[in-house]
Amino acid sequence: MTDDAFNVGQSEWYHPTDEIIQNAHIPDYEALYQEAMQDVEAFWGQRAEVLDWFQKWDKVLDTSEAPFYKWFVGAKTNIAHNAIDRHTKTWRRNKLALIWEGEPGDKRTFSYHALWREVNKFANVLKSMGVRKGDRVTIYMGRIPELLMAMVACAKIGAVHSVVYGGFSEQALADRIADAQSRVIVTCDGSWLRGNIVNLKQVVDEAVHRSPVVESVIVVKRTGQDIHMEPGRDYWFHDLMNLPIASPYCETEVMDAEDPLFILYTSGTTGKPKGVLHTHGGYQLYTSTTLEWVFDLKDDDRWWCAADPGWITGHSYIVYGPLILGATSFMYEGAPTHPYPDRWWKMVEEYALTVLYTAPTAIRGLMRFGDAWPSRRDLSSLRLLGSVGEPINPEAWRWYHKVIGKERCPIMDTWWQTETGGFIITPMPSVSLKPGSATRPFPGLEVDVVDEEGNSCAPGVDGYLVIKKPWPSMLRTVYGDPDRYVDQYWSKYAKQGWYFAGDSARKDEDGYIWVIGRVDDVIKVSGYRLGTAEVESGLVSHPAVAEAAVIGVPDEVKGSVIYAYCILVTGFEGNDALVDTLKAHVRHEVGPIAIPAKIEFVDKLPKTRSGKIMRRVLKARAMGLPEGDLSTLES
Ligand code: PRX
């Protein structure tokens, strides 16, 4: 968020119509918020009654080992039961759970019954490969229905999935496999992107080579090109699903509410990715409640969360949230502009999609092509829009509102994180909006903007975003590293016991929250979260690079792009050819999303006397701004 956006946007109101308010699940946000805050535990306990539990809880929240909070203590459940099993016993068994379109234009649909069968079959396949409750399974796939099936199948048998986004490459994947110690990988031969095949299996082969813990690789045939299949290790998904062991009946494992459901790696301040751990009980409650109330999902909706299932947005709002609600979701495999810039709008028209949830970077990217592309399509089915991943600039917000939503569709700008599991600061359809603000906290959540000491900041003053009370879908730990969990999120405001989000923000006179951005070494490139350290390790793993420093620089479409400064090993010459080589190297090691937009060769990096790179100075240099106080700089 820029100062301009704040100054203008603060008084730019968009009020919902009476019709929207009357039809909303929550017509009066304020009243519900007040009610929830009177007794947060009772609020969640009551709401949890809408889900199925094999055994009810003894206690909603246990704070005795804070910050290792426990929710729904003593309860037995399984998210797969609520997401699929239970729907097959109701009229929803023949309702569409998923409508999918591949980039080349192929289509597939699954009813809840059909999805349930596939999930059961695959759950049996996993079992036959020796996967047991608590085992980790790494999933590295394109955006195809089997990805969703594999996730729910893991949950069903109590295995813990670790989905790695298909935009990551060898080393990033190898690190995540090694950290989770996954013996089984589920992948596909390739996926379609902008008319080309992304060869995912080749990346898996290399990563498995670097992480020898892997025993079996299950490969879905998607693109059909020739790939290497290692005898005794690699198996085709379709072969396994045709074996008698792949029976359509698989008992759903009875899980403790606090048993792990998944690990999702996210970038932090060090090179080692953090395995954010979420559990069955609280997560199923929070994702389904937030989705129902914020996007007002009803049975006749067709919901499109255009994120990738490999990120938290997809986990919570493509896979679990919508399935638990028994909703119909739409999923698309490829690029928004393939073959033409109206691909998204064509699909909204064709499938009569009613709610679209995407990222500001995608909106800005499509906005560049002008109004004619969306205007030639019938977008009248849409009734609500959403945004996530980074602050949305008011120009993009207004375009989205006017050209896509035809000024009828409120925009839900949802602020949250991999760690939070679900929306934290967000409007609901009945809340008045201001472009660029995620508005107010979800009921049951206490959020504030505070200074270093923890005092609430006055309106208009920048501070740190904190969450003052635990919530059901909070991360439970960093996988295998509880100290890092405490240190990263709970140490800054340890005295008060608040969660530190790592973002800066500002409130306005109306109590609306405006998120500014990260305060740590995390860069958001096209809404994707990357750690500077990850890109730096990628660069220094090349023999020419002695040291590297990476910063994020504002970009009109991507939000931020990466600038890299490299000190070369003696004997290497910093020329254009080396820039290309290093970009290719980062693509290969970390992934295409991590490729620096600019690489500059330098003799020295600005460092503090203790040896810490002063990114602030590099950023000022890159943007042509004053470099500020350099007194602590190493001479
Ligand atoms: O900086 C905030 C930004 O994205 C970060 C979390 O990234 P990740 O864990 O990848 O999750 C993204 C999807 C939930 C936050 O710390 N962020 C996310 N949503 C918004 C946002 N910044 C401003 N406005 C948002 N709506």
pLDDT tens digits, residue range 32-49? 999 999 999 999 999 999
pLDDT exceeds cutoff 70 at 516: yes
Average pLDDT of the chain is 95
Cβ–ligand 1 distance for 273 under 6 Å, the answer no
Cβ–ligand 1 distance for 438 under 6 Å, the answer yes
pLDDT exceeds cutoff 60 at 635: no
Q: From the alpha carbon of 413, which atom of ligand 1 is closest?
A: 26
pLDDT exceeds cutoff 70 at 618: yes
Q: From the alpha carbon of 418, which atom of ligand 1 is closest?
A: 9
The whole-number pLDDT of residue 107 equals 98
When mean pLDDT is compared across 227-231, 281-285, 586-590, the lowest value belongs to 586-590
Q: Which residues pair with 586 in a beta bridge?
A: none
pLDDT exceeds cutoff 80 at 633: no
Ligand 1: residue whose CA is nearest its atom 7: 417
Q: From the alpha carbon of 528, which atom of ligand 1 is closest?
A: 10
Cβ–ligand 1 distance for 417 under 6 Å, the answer yes
Residue written as tokens 């079996």?
216
Cβ–ligand 1 distance for 416 under 6 Å, the answer yes
User: How much is the average pLDDT of 584-603?
Assistant: 94
CA 417 / ligand 1 centre spacing (Å): 5
pLDDT exceeds cutoff 90 at 626: no
The whole-number pLDDT of residue 578 equals 96
Q: From the alpha carbon of 1, which atom of ligand 1 is closest?
A: 23
Ligand 1: residue whose CA is nearest its atom 10: 529
Phi and psi, residue 163, nearest 5°: -90, 130
Cβ–ligand 1 distance for 388 under 6 Å, the answer yes
pLDDT exceeds cutoff 70 at 629: no
When mean pLDDT is compared across 396-405, 513-522, 579-588, the lowest value belongs to 513-522
Cβ–ligand 1 distance for 418 under 6 Å, the answer yes
Cβ–ligand 1 distance for 515 under 6 Å, the answer yes
Amino acid occupying residue 433: L
User: How much is the average pLDDT of 253-274?
Assistant: 90
CA 611 / ligand 1 centre spacing (Å): 30
The whole-number pLDDT of residue 271 equals 66
When mean pLDDT is compared across 315-324, 373-382, 524-533, the lowest value belongs to 524-533
Alpha-carbon distance values, 622 to 3, 248, 552, 615 (Å): 20, 58, 10, 10
pTM exceeds cut of 0.75 = yes
CB-hemisphere CA count at 13 Å for 243? 14
248 cis-preceded (ω within 30 degrees of 0): no
When mean pLDDT is compared across 124-133, 302-311, 518-527, the lowest value belongs to 518-527
DSSP category for residue 254: P
When mean pLDDT is compared across 474-483, 547-556, 603-612, the lowest value belongs to 603-612
CA 323 / ligand 1 centre spacing (Å): 23
Ligand 1: residue whose CA is nearest its atom 15: 417
Cβ–ligand 1 distance for 360 under 6 Å, the answer no
Calculate ∠ Cα 228-230-236, nearest 5°.
Answer: 80
Q: 331, 103 in Cβ contact below 8 A?
A: no
Cβ–ligand 1 distance for 266 under 6 Å, the answer yes
Ligand 1: residue whose CA is nearest its atom 8: 417
Q: 615, 533 in Cβ contact below 8 A?
A: no
Closest by CA to 158, choosing from 130, 182, 125, 135, is 135
| Cα–Cα dist 517/559, whole Å | 10
The whole-number pLDDT of residue 634 equals 61
Mutate which of 529, 534, 558 for ligand 1 pocket (most atoms within 8 A of beta carbon): 529
User: How much is the average pLDDT of 138-166?
Assistant: 97
> What is the percent of the chain with per-residue pLDDT over 70, rounded to a whole number?
98
Structure token digits, residue 573: 């010459």
Q: pLDDT (tens digit, 9 = 90+) per residue, 175-215?
A: 999 999 999 999 999 999 999 999 999 999 999 999 889 99
pLDDT exceeds cutoff 90 at 333: yes
CA 11 / ligand 1 centre spacing (Å): 24
| Cα–Cα dist 52/81, whole Å | 8
CA 274 / ligand 1 centre spacing (Å): 16
| Cα–Cα dist 513/511, whole Å | 6
Mutate which of 262, 316, 390 for ligand 1 pocket (most atoms within 8 A of beta carbon): 390
CA 192 / ligand 1 centre spacing (Å): 27
Cβ–ligand 1 distance for 389 under 6 Å, the answer yes
Cβ–ligand 1 distance for 316 under 6 Å, the answer no
Cβ–ligand 1 distance for 264 under 6 Å, the answer no
Helices (H), 514-558: 532-540
Q: 436, 394 in Cβ contact below 8 A?
A: yes
User: How much is the average pLDDT of 112-118?
Assistant: 98
CA 388 / ligand 1 centre spacing (Å): 6
CA 21 / ligand 1 centre spacing (Å): 27
When mean pLDDT is compared across 133-147, 507-521, 574-588, 621-635, the lowest value belongs to 621-635
pLDDT band at 469 (very low <50, low <70, confident <90, very high): very high
CA 528 / ligand 1 centre spacing (Å): 9
User: How much is the average pLDDT of 316-341?
Assistant: 97
